[in-house]
């Protein structure tokens, strides 16, 4: 899963092999969010 950006401790990654459609995950410490 490639990392798209890292800023202010927030990591943005793109998932493309998990399931359609490709989506991003945003992580900050113990917190995580997903968006299609």
Residues 4-13: tens digit of each pLDDT: 999 998 999 8
Residue carrying structure tokens 């890292």: 6
Q: Is residue 36 pLDDT above 70, yes or no?
A: no
How far is it, in rounded angstroms, from Cα 15 to Cα 25? Answer: 7
pTM for the complete prediction?
0.66
Q: Is residue 16 pLDDT above 70, yes or no?
A: yes
Segments forming the whole domain that contains residue 25: 3-35
Which three-class secondary structure state does DSSP give residue 28? strand
Q: How many percent of the chain have pLDDT more than 90?
A: 25
**How many domains does the chain divide into?**
1
């Amino acid at each position: 899963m490639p990392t798209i950006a890292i800023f202010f401790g927030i990591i943005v990654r793109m998932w493309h092999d998990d399931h359609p459609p490709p989506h991003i995950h945003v992580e900050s410490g113990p917190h995580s969010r997903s968006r299609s």
